[in-house]
Amino acid sequence: MRRVTGLAARTISSSVAVHPRLAHTTAMMTTIPSWEPPSPRFGGLPTPSFAGGIAGIVFFSAAAASSLGQEVHAKEMSHKFNPKEVVLYQYEACPFCNKVKAFLDFNKIPYKIVEVNPLFKKEIKWSDYKKVPILTVDGEQLVDSSVIIDSLFQRMHPGISKSEDDEETIWRKWVDNHLVHILSPNIYRSTSEALESFDYITTHGNFSFTERLVAKYAGATAMYFVSKKLKKKYNITDERAALYDAAETWVDALNGRPFLGGSRPNLADLAVFGVLRPIRYLRSGKDMVDNTRIGEWFSRMENTVGEPSGIKE
C-alpha cells in the first residue's frame, strides 16, 4: 500500500496522547490556517462565467444492543433540544454540509433541506452570508460547519465544554485542515473520475435540465484542471496515496476502539464520516475502502448514524 512520503514529523503538544500518525500529517496542516471556513469553492467565488459558478459547488461528503443504546440516547437529546424548525441550506456534495448533516442525523434532529442552486443562489438571497452550509434554527441563522456543530452541541449539552487540545478537537481540526483538501484531487483525478463526480453532483444538485447537461461536461473539465492546482497548493504528489494515508491515519487514531469516542461516535467521528460520505461510492471512495482498513469503521458509522433525518423541500 502506498503512503505519502516526505512529510516532516512534528510533535503535537497536547494533554492527551495523540497517535504519532497525526504528527505525520501536521507538517501539511501548518501551511494553512488553523481553521479555514468554507472556502470560495463552496460558494464564495464570483460567477462571471458558467464554469466559475460550477466551481463554487464541487469541492466535496454496531452491535444491536449498542445501536439501541444510540437510538435511546439520541431521542433523549432530541427531547432536550427540540426546536420547532431546522432548515439546512446546502449543496448535496459539499463536505462541510455533510458534516452538519451527519451531526443532525446521528442526533435524530428533524430538518428540512433546501438545495441551493450554485449558479444563482436565489435560495440564500435573503442572507448576507453567501456560502453554504447555512442552518436556521427557529429563524436564527448559523454559519460555518464547525461553528454550527459547536452551537448545537452546546444547546444539547450546556454543561460540557471542549478543550482546544483534547483528542476530539485536534482530530476535528485535522478534518478541516487536512482531510477535506485531499478530496478534490482524488474525485477529479482523471477525466473519467471527474465525469463520474459531476454526474453525481448534477443528479443530486439543484440544476435545471439544461444546466445539468452543461455542468457535467464543462464543470468536469474545469475541475480536472483545478484539481491539479490544488495538488500543488497542498503539496500532494500522489492523490490516492494521500487519501490512503489519511484513511490509515484515522484508523490508527482509533487505536482498537470502535469509534474515536469509544463505544459511541464523538464529534470527530461524525466529522470524518460526514466529509467522506459523498465520495464513499465514487471510484475514489471505493478504492479507499478496498486499499485501507477504514471500511469496518465506516460501516459502523453508517449503521450508527442511521437513515438521514432531512426532508428535501
Buried b / exposed e along 259-292 (16+ C-beta atoms within 10 A): bbbeebbbbbbbbbbbbbbbbbebbbbebbbebb
Cell numbers standing for residue 69: 443504546
94 is a catalytic site residue: yes
Give me the amino acid identity at 134: I
96 is a catalytic site residue: yes
Residue 294's alpha-carbon distances to 243, 249, 251, 254, 282, in angstroms, are 11, 10, 6, 10, 15
Residue 311, beta-bridge partner list? 112
Of 195, 171, 189, the residue nearest 273 (C-alpha)? 171
Catalytic residue among 42, 89, 97, 106: 97
Cα 109 to Cα 244: distance, rounded to the nearest angstrom: 32
Catalytic residue among 42, 59, 89, 91: 91
97 is a catalytic site residue: yes
Cell numbers standing for residue 62: 454496531
Cα 225 to Cα 60: distance, rounded to the nearest angstrom: 16
Catalytic residue among 42, 81, 94, 234: 94
Residue 60, beta-bridge partner list? none
Catalytic residue among 59, 96, 103, 273: 96
Name the residues annotated as catalytic. Answer: 91, 94, 96-97
